[in-house]
Each structure stands twice: as C-alpha cells, then as structure tokens.
C-alpha cells in the first residue's frame, strides 16, 4: 500500500477533487455541493489516500486513518487489536466475522470500515466486561459444549445473540434456519442449538 | 482489492451526477455505488469489479427505506434492507411471495446488510464470471467467449440465454417482483422516471456485459408492487442443494386469484432457471379461466418451459422447474387466503 495513489484526480468531476475526498471526516458525510468549492483539509494530514474515520466499537470512539479498502473486520483486528472477530472465508459465506452494527448482525468482512463511521459496532469483546459475569449466550456455549476448535465461536455467539433479539429463536427449526449464516466445520451444530435455546430463556428472564 | 477513491453522499441528486461517467447498464463501470456491499465488496475482493471510485449511499438509508402498504399497493424504498421487509407483518400478510422471497435468500447477516436496490442488481454466480483467471467470459471481457458453454454449467440458465452467455440470474426477490408486475422508480441526472420491472434487466443479446437498461448515473429509488386480488394467495417455493443459505437451483413465485377452484388470474415467475428475472405469461395464459387441477398445472408448467435450451450439465433443469411450478401452484391453491 506504500505506493498507493488516490485515483480521484484522474476522474475529477466538477466539484470533485482529491482534497474534497480527504475532506470526508468523522461525522461529515457529504460530497461537496455542485459548483461550489467546499473543501476542508483535515489536520493532521492522513497518509495519501487515507481517510479519517471514527469507529465506535463497544462504546468507545476510535479515531483511525484508513485506506478505503480496509474492511471493518481488518480495522477491528489489525488496527484496534480486537482479534475476537475471526477471518474465515473473507467472502461473507462463513459467519466467523459476525459483529453487530447498530444492534444488527452483519458480516464485517464485507463491510467497509469507512461505511460504519458514526454507527455503533459491538464485537464479542463487548458482550461482557472483563471481571463481569459472561453474557448468558457465552455461558450457554460453555455449558452445552457448543464448540470444539472454537474458531467460529465468536461469530456464532454474536449471531445467536442477535437471533434471540430478532425473535427468530422460538423453535429448534427456527434456530437452525436463522443461524444458517454461521458455519461450524467441527460440526457442533446440535450443541449450538441447545446453547441458543438455553440462553434465550435466560436472556428473556434475566 | 484494487485502490479506489471513497466518497459519500446524503444527496440523491449528487449521487446520480457522480455516476454520469458510468456506462449505460454496464457492470464494470469506473464508478460504483455502495449500499449493503454484499455484491460489490465481494466482487472487488475477487478482482471481478475494479472501480476507481466508490460512492457510498448509506447516508441516504433513512430517507429511502420506507415500507408502505396501501390500498393501491406496496411501495418499498430502495435502501430498505431485506430483513426489514421480510419481517414486516403487513408485507407477510398481503404479499407473502415478497416476504418469503426475501426471507429464503442468503443468511441473516447478509439480509441485514443488503439493500433492495442492490439485491435486484446482484450479479450472476457463474463461476467463470467470478474467477478472472478464466479468460473467456463475455460478461467480464466483451467478445472473449463463454467458458460455461462447454464447461461446468450445472446451475446455468435454460431460459432467455444466447450463445454469448448462459449465466443465471441468482436472485429471489426479483422473481417475485417480476411475477407481480412491479414497477421501479429511478432517479438519474435527467430526473426521475418509472419503468416496468420486467424492462430493468436485459437479455444477453450478444452483449452480456450490459445487464440493465439503467442510464448512466441512474439509481433505483423505490419499487412499486400494484395491489391485486392475487397477492394474498401467493408464495415463493425455493429448491436448493442445501436446506438454507443457498441459491436456488429452481424456484417459483406464484400468485393466484381463484373463483371457487377456477383461476381468474395467475401471476407466475421462475427463478434459478433463466438469464434474467423470468415471468411466464405462457403459463399464466394456460391457467386463466380453468380449474386449478394437477393436470392443468402440469400443462401450464410445460408451457413455461417450452423454450428451454440446455447445455449438458443443466439438462435436469427443465424437468425440475416443471415439478417446482406444479407443486407451487397446488400449494398456492390450497392456501387459506
């Protein structure tokens, strides 16, 4: 990425310039108005082609300067050292990277970090605070042996919490259907279904 | 992923102007629009799409996500997410085929991300299109040929193809839309217009790299599904190689208006089968005015597949489509609506 060259200059349109792109900063989500030279230079100047973003993760604001190609998953793991979210397929097919954005489960590997500027991201690290009791879903995965190697587990748990919140965990069949975006190569599926069923009851009574 | 310039807008008119350099209906334009990203980011990682600029439309989400069920029909904002529409009780009650087509697609994560506008514009899953190490693909490189004609074509289209491309349109929602005679609201640099959904996607016509009739910079802003006596008695039947989180190998969108057992009107779409979202007016015509018996359903299904052309690996498809449609018709007729 060292020889990265921003491309916008070659595609310059009226009202667009590289500087206006760099002018996109935290909380400011606007192209310059047409015919108006509305540009701002952020300070400090990020590396060429990088854009400043504020990622709100587990309630904490993080100001980062990112290559636009950075996915939310890579921003979490490589820039914020939150390595609980896992990279499996990196194509949105396995669910290991599942996090919540504004309370909805999404595949962080197919989400650009810049596109969640200003939104609330929750990762597995944010489900319970260090020293506090585990989230009922985390505890249920332990109690029911809902994993073997554990690689898919953070994604399974984030997906399962959302599945309960969505109201899509009423029956075992429904749990299987609405958890189908999370693959487990170890084949822990029967125990995962038990864990979700158990945690649902505790989440609703707790 | 290749480098690109990232821009973002909360102004639809600006967004439309930002795309004026895009070719008409072209799939690999220099400027691409980002909504859910589930197609775009995926194909950028695979080097199939290499835009130099990505315009993020997500700030427009709040303004263009309305889900409205009125006496005249259903109107869905293009930025509404698939899960939001599938989980709307009025949609599930009055337009079950729409809700089911969305709920049976992809995974819960993808349905939370993907917008309706992006969903209908999703690209084919043809493995030769998705892997640039194959040199011959008319969709990626016009004039380079079609690797699927003589290659692995087990889930390629049997309807609406030509020798330039036999790829299959993979979506479900669009099949329900085309069956119900939906319309699409567009906004482009020249202003708004409304077109019939069945004119949005083109046939290959020897130029499969041009997939839609969208003009440069034109964006989908909403979908309109007209009300009809048939929408409540409707369903989406999807046949897959695994039970969940899989594309269709065959599907049917069916809506029926019945008078006793006799068909006053039928709306029929086929998925997993055709180059583009496919409505079978031939099958609808066979059924209109007739009792919905198994024999008549089979006659309609034969009419729907009369023009099928197979290429070896997909030879099973016409029969699978016939059985899918017959089952969907009989199930729809048995609904309490």
Contact A62, A117 (CB under 8 A): no
**Total residues found in chain A within this entry:** 206
For A:141-200, CB contacts with B below 8 A are 159, 162-163, 166, 168, 176-182
Q: What tokens does B118 get?
A: 């992006």
B56 interaction partners in chain A (CB closer than 8 Å): 112, 114-115
Q: Which candidate in B1, B2, B4, B7 is best for mutational testing of the A interface (most A CBs within 10 A)?
A: B7
State residue A205's pLDDT score.
87
CB spacing of B59 vs A29 below 8 angstroms = yes
State residue A44's pLDDT score.
54
B243 interaction partners in chain A (CB closer than 8 Å): 180
- Express each pLDDT in B189-211 by its tens digit: 899 999 999 999 999 999 999 99
Q: Is B17 on the interface with A (CB under 8 A)?
A: yes
Q: What confidence tier does A46 reach under pLDDT thresholds 50, 70, 90?
A: low
Name the strands in the sheet holding B191-196, side by side, starting at the edge strand that comes first in the sequence: B67-70, B73-77, B219-226, B183-188, B191-196
Name the strands in the sheet holding B262-271, side by side, starting at the edge strand that comes first in the sequence: B234-240, B248-259, B262-271, B278-279
B112 closest CB neighbour out of A33, A106, A182: A106
- Express each pLDDT in B90-101 by its tens digit: 999 999 999 999
CB spacing of B108 vs A71 below 8 angstroms = no
Q: What confidence tier does A150 reach under pLDDT thresholds 50, 70, 90?
A: very high
Using the predicted structure, report yes or no on whether residue B68 has a pLDDT greater than 90.
yes
CB spacing of B4 vs A33 below 8 angstroms = no
Q: Is A30 on the interface with B (CB under 8 A)?
A: yes
Residue A127 CB coordination number (10 Å): 20
The Cβ-side half-sphere exposure at A175, using a 13 Å CA radius, reads 21
Indicate the average pLDDT of chain B. Answer: 96
- Express each pLDDT in A151-188 by its tens digit: 999 999 999 999 999 999 999 999 999 999 999 999 99
Indicate the average pLDDT of chain A. Answer: 84
State residue B25's pLDDT score.
66
ipTM field: 0.96
For A:59-98, CB contacts with B below 8 A are 67-69, 71, 90-92, 95, 98
Name residues whose C-beta falls within 8 Å of residue B66's C-beta, 6 or more positions apart in sequence. Answer: B75, B76, B77, B80, B222
CB spacing of A107 vs B6 below 8 angstroms = no
A104 interaction partners in chain B (CB closer than 8 Å): 83, 112
**Measuring CA to CA, how many Å separate B14 from each of A21, A28, A180?**
14, 16, 39
* Distance from chain centroid for Cα B152: 23
């Amino acid at each position: 990425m060292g020889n990265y060259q921003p491309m916008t200059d070659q595609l310059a349109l009226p009202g667009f310039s590289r500087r206006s792109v760099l002018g996109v900063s935290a909380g400011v989500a606007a192209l310059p108005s047409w015919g108006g030279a509305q540009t701002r230079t952020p300070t400090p100047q990020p590396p060429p082609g990088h854009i400043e973003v504020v990622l709100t993760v587990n309630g904490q604001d993080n100001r980062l300067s990112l290559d636009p190609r950075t996915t939310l998953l890579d921003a979490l793991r490589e820039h914020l050292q939150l390595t609980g979210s896992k990279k499996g397929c990196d194509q949105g097919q396995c669910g290991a990277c599942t996090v919540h954005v504004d309370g909805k489960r999404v595949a962080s590997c197919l989400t650009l970090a810049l596109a969640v500027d200003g939104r609330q991201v929750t990762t597995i690290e944010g489900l319970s605070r260090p020293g506090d009791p585990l989230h009922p879903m985390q505890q249920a995965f332990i109690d029911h042996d809902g994993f073997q190697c554990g690689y898919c587990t953070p994604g399974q748990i984030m997906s399962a919490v959302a599945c309960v919140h969505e109201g899509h965990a009423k029956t075992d069949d429904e749990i299987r259907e609405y958890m189908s975006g999370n693959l487990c190569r170890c084949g822990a599926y029967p125990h995962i279904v038990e864990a979700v069923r158990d945690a649902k009851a505790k989440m609703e009574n707790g | 992923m290749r480098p690109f310039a990232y821009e973002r807008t909360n102004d639809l008119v600006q967004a439309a102007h930002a795309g004026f350099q895009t070719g008409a209906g072209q799939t690999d334009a220099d400027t691409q629009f980002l909504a859910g990203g589930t197609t775009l980011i995926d194909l950028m990682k695979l080097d199939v799409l290499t835009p130099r600029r990505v315009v993020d439309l997500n700030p427009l989400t709040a303004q263009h996500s309305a889900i409205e069920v009125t006496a005249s029909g259903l109107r869905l904002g293009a930025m509404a997410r698939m899960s939001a529409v599938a989980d709307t009780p009025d949609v599930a009650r009055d337009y079950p085929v729409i809700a089911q087509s969305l709920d049976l697609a992809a995974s819960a994560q993808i349905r939370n991300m993907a917008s309706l506008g992006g969903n209908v514009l999703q690209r084919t899953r043809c493995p030769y299109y998705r892997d640039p190490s194959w040199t011959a693909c008319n969709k990626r490189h016009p004039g380079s040929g079609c690797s699927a004609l003589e290659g692995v074509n087990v889930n390629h289209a049997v309807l609406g193809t030509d020798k330039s491309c036999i790829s299959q349109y993979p979506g479900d929602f669009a099949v329900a839309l085309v069956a119900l005679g939906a319309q699409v609201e567009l906004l482009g640099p020249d202003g708004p217009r409304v077109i019939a959904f069945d004119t949005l996607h083109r046939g290959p016509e020897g130029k499969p790299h041009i997939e839609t009739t969208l003009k440069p910079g034109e964006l989908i802003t909403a979908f309109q599904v007209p009300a009809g006596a048939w929408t409540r008695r409707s369903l989406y039947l999807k046949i897959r190689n695994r039970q969940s989180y899989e594309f269709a190998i065959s599907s049917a969108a069916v809506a029926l208006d019945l008078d006793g057992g006799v068909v006053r009107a039928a709306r029929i779409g086929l998925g997993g089968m055709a180059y583009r979202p496919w409505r079978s007016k031939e099958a609808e015509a066979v059924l209109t005015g007739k009792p919905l018996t198994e024999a008549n359903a089979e006659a309609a299904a034969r009419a729907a597949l009369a023009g099928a052309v197979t290429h070896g690996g997909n030879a099973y498809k016409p029969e699978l489509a016939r059985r899918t449609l017959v089952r969907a018709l009989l199930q729809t007729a048995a609904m309490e609506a």
